[in-house]
Amino acid sequence: MYLKELFSTPVWANSLDSISDQDLLLIKTFCLEQTKTTESVHFSNHGGYHSPAYSVEQLADTPLSVILQPILDKCNECMIRLGSDKTLRLSSIWFHINGPGDYNDIHTHGGILSGSFYIAVPDNNSSIFFSRALDMTNHFYGSIGCKNITELTAPDFDFKPSPKAIVVFPSWLPHGVRPNQSNMERISISFNTELINE
């Protein structure tokens, strides 16, 4: 029989190669310094450091300023790929530092498109994963005993990033972060977007 896969979920991945290694080092240093002066907040994180959310204006004079426009450009490219004529702006930006054993539970974001940009990534399985945990299709494929796990039937999908990688996805898509299995810190910048008022 002919198979037509309906209602697929877009997840985009790319690399911000315009960001220099020196920029990454400055961003990493900034994030680590912030942990000394600003208390971690707690949402999906188990261990590690989760910064407060910042606005673009708050980050204008920090090392993170160099990544804001490239991230926004990628998000608006995604909107074009979706066939939208709307334009996004960054509504909030924050960062995570996950040490050994730290991870993030499955959660969703508010906004239109969300994503992560990676500063420091241990060479292990500390990947971001996308899940159907909150979706009835997860129950369906599990209940019928699918033996051959494919992109169609998989309960979750892992994306293993590298430094300078960016991943963008719909804000409603459930996702989490696997435990850091190394002795190195995993540092990433997360963001949400919203539509610009017309």
Average pLDDT value for residue range 173-177:
96
The whole-angstrom separation of Cα 100 and Cα 180 is 5
User: Of 151, 167, 160, which is closest to residue 181 (Cα–Cα)?
Assistant: 160
The whole-angstrom separation of Cα 14 and Cα 107 is 22
Percent with pLDDT over 70 in the chain = 97
Please say if the pLDDT value at position 154 is more than 90: no
- Tell me which amino acid residue 126 is: S
DSSP H/E element including 69? helix 65-81
- Write the DSSP symbol of residue 1: -
Count of CB atoms within 10 A of residue 128's CB? 24
DSSP secondary structure letters along 78-142 = HHHHTT----EEEEEEEEEEE-TT-EEEEE--SSSEEEEEEEE--SSS--EEEE-TTSHHHHHHH
- What pLDDT does 70 receive? 98
- What pLDDT does 125 receive? 65
Q: Which two tokens stand for residue 113?
A: 């498109």
Q: pLDDT digits over 120-151, tens only? A: 998 766 799 999 876 777 677 777 877 777 88
Please say if the pLDDT value at position 197 is more than 80: no
The whole-angstrom separation of Cα 66 and Cα 68 is 6
| Top-confidence residue, 198 or 65 | 65
Q: pLDDT digits over 41-63, tens only? A: 999 999 999 999 999 999 999 99
When mean pLDDT is compared over 1-5, 37-41, 120-124, the highest value belongs to 37-41
Q: Tell me the pLDDT of the chain averaged across its residues.
A: 93
| Top-confidence residue, 3 or 169 | 169
User: How is the chain split into domains, by residue range?
Assistant: 12-131+157-195
Please say if the pLDDT value at position 29 is more than 80: yes
Assess contact for 116 and 71: CB atoms under 8 A. no
CATH class of this structure's domain 12-131+157-195? mainly beta
User: Of 45, 31, 32, 84, which is closest to residue 193 (Cα–Cα)?
Assistant: 84
- What pLDDT does 198 receive? 56
Q: Is the sign of the CA dihedral 72, 103, 98, 182 positive or negative?
A: negative
User: Which single residue is written with the structure tokens 């499955």?
Assistant: 106
Using alpha carbons only, what angle is made at residue 27 by residues 75 and 39, rounded to the nearest 5 degrees? 100
